[in-house]
């Protein structure tokens, strides 16, 4: 008889517990927009959005103050892409984020003081030119060009870093150096240089994807 | 008599130590009264602005954390060879400790409208008791007439 009572008590308790396990029907943490020019809640020792915004803005303004680039009688044709912009650092990042922002910022700000060549679209342009010349499509509204535009200057550069870690505390430190150079495509002269550098330390690094 | 003098002196001393509020200084009472009077955000012509105006061609420390720690000693501006404007400020760290600050510049045209987007925040490592230079270039050339530098602590 006692065993039956005990079994009933266990079953009742179990049922009561099961009744407690309900769906937590509340909203989750909302997505929060943050200013990309300011460090957000997730921060490590690598290159982050505020660094990309800061370095591209700084380089753009510096280039616009250089007479050779923006005060020439004939505006130079400039190629800015990541083809010769190398990431040799321990930071994982897409180099296009830097070169795209720099090119777009410069193109909007230059207002004709420089001309920009989309060399990364050369294949797209070549295909369309071929279709036009084959007569597959008509010639379009604008006059035909003898050839695609060549570049006078092209952006080159390098991202490097120096990492150090304290084995006792686990604290990590990284010095990042980003070099931007504008190369004369006839003479290989470096006509403009810019550097952006910073060092950050943190107890534990975060994962960049 | 002495009993009155001591608190009076204390009050005077406190007045001398009053904290400095960072810009902008907005009189919200006047802002709300103007909102009642006009349908849009425009200011009423002839009415005094509820905003205590910040002088252009100057540096405004907008962060209460550093307003009593740093001093902008001098600001100069010059035209570059391409016609853009370069502003240079000398920032003094008045404390015995290194500080991290950041600054940006908004450039204005002759009509006192922003002539271009504000520059990105540029970080400044301010060594203790030392002077550090901050400089920024404008994007526009002949459209730029004025500037305002804003400074805050880096977080």
Residue contact A58–B138, C-beta within 8 A: no
Q: Is residue A209 in a domain?
A: no
Q: Is residue A197 in a domain?
A: yes
pLDDT score of A185: 97
The verdict on A104 touching B (C-beta cutoff 8 Å) is no
The verdict on A44 touching B (C-beta cutoff 8 Å) is no
Dihedral over alpha carbons A20, A21, A27, A30 (to 10 degrees): 130
Which residues 186-205 on chain A approach chain B with CB closer than 8 angstroms? 198
pLDDT score of B42: 57
pLDDT score of B116: 94
Query: What is the domain range of residue A91?
Result: 51-202
Residue contact A61–B136, C-beta within 8 A: yes
For the ranges B38-42, B107-111, B151-155, the lowest mean pLDDT is seen at B38-42
Residue contact B121–A37, C-beta within 8 A: yes
Residue contact B80–A65, C-beta within 8 A: yes
pLDDT exceeds cutoff 70 at B139: yes
For the ranges A51-60, A161-170, B27-36, B121-130, the lowest mean pLDDT is seen at B27-36
pLDDT band at B25 (very low <50, low <70, confident <90, very high): confident
Q: Is residue A69 in a domain?
A: yes
Residue contact A65–B81, C-beta within 8 A: yes
pLDDT score of B41: 53
- B79 vs B14, residue with greater confidence: B79
Residue contact A113–B136, C-beta within 8 A: no
Residue contact A66–B82, C-beta within 8 A: yes
We report the CATH number of the domain holding residue A112 as 3.40.50
pLDDT band at B6 (very low <50, low <70, confident <90, very high): low
Chain B contacts of A62, Cβ < 8 Å? 137
Shortest CA gap B136–chain A (Å): 8
In 3D space, the residue among A161, A163, A172, A193 whose CA is nearest the CA of residue A93 turns out to be A161
Nearest CA in chain B to A59: B137
- B40 vs A142, residue with greater confidence: A142
Residue contact B82–A71, C-beta within 8 A: yes
Low-confidence ranges of chain A (pLDDT < 70): 1-3, 6-7, 9-10, 12-21, 205
Chain A contacts of B116, Cβ < 8 Å? 109
d(CA A162, CA B7) in angstroms, rounded, equals 59
The hierarchical CATH code for the domain B55-155 is: 2.60.40.3230
Under a CB-based contact definition with an 8 Å cutoff, are residues A187 and A116 in contact?
no
Chain A contacts of B137, Cβ < 8 Å? 61-62, 64-65
pLDDT score of B13: 54
Interface of B with A (CB under 8 A): 80-84, 86, 116, 119-123, 136-140, 155
Q: Please name the member of B82, B122, B123 whose beta carbon is closest to the beta carbon of A67.
A: B82
Domain count, chain A: 1
Q: Please name the member of B84, B120, B140 whose beta carbon is closest to the beta carbon of A53.
A: B120
Long-range contacts of A71-74 (CB under 8 A, 24+ apart): A71/A113, A71/B81, A71/B82, A71/B83
pLDDT (tens digit, 9 = 90+) per residue, A37-77? 988 888 889 999 999 999 999 999 999 999 999 988 999 99
pLDDT exceeds cutoff 90 at B49: no
Q: Is residue A38 in a domain?
A: no
The verdict on A54 touching B (C-beta cutoff 8 Å) is yes
Helix (H) / strand (E) element for B88: namely strand B85-93
d(CA A53, CA A181) in angstroms, rounded, equals 18
Domain ranges for chain B: 21-53, 55-155
């Amino acid at each position: 008889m006692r065993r039956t009572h005990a079994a009933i008590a266990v079953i009742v308790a179990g049922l009561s517990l099961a009744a407690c396990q309900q769906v937590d029907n509340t909203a989750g943490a909302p997505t929060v927009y943050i200013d990309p020019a300011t460090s957000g809640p997730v921060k490590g020792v690598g290159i982050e959005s505020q660094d990309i915004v800061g370095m591209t803005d700084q380089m753009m303004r510096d280039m616009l103050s250089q007479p050779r680039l923006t005060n020439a009688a004939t505006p130079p044709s400039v190629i800015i892409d990541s083809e010769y912009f190398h990431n040799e650092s321990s930071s994982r990042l897409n180099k296009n984020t830097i070169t795209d922002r720099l090119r777009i910022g410069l193109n909007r700000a230059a207002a004709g003081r420089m001309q920009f060549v989309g060399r990364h679209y050369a294949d797209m342009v070549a295909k369309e030119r071929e279709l036009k010349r084959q007569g597959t499509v008509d010639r379009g509204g604008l006059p035909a060009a003898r050839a695609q535009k060549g570049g006078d200057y092209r952006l080159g550069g390098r991202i490097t870093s120096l990492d150090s870690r304290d084995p006792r505390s686990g604290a990590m430190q990284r010095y990042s150096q980003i070099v931007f150079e504008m190369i004369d495509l006839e003479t290989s002269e470096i006509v403009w240089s810019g550097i952006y550098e910073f060092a950050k330390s943190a107890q534990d690094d975060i994962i960049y994807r | 008599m002495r009993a009155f003098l001591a608190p009076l002196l204390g009050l005077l001393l406190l007045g001398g130590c009053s904290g400095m509020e960072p810009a902008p200084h907005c009189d919200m009472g006047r802002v709300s009264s103007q909102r009642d009077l006009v349908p849009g955000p425009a200011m009423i012509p002839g009415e005094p602005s509820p905003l205590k105006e910040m002088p252009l061609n100057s540096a405004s420390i907008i962060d209460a954390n550093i307003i009593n720690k740093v001093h902008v000693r001098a600001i100069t501006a010059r035209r570059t060879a391409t016609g853009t404007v370069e502003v240079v400020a000398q920032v003094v760290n008045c404390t015995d400790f290194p500080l991290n600050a950041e600054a940006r510049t908004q450039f204005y045209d002759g009509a006192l409208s922003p002539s271009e987007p504000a520059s990105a925040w540029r970080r400044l490592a301010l060594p203790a008791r030392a002077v550090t230079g901050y400089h920024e270039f404008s994007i526009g050339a002949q459209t730029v007439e004025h500037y305002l530098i804003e400074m805050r602590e880096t977080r």
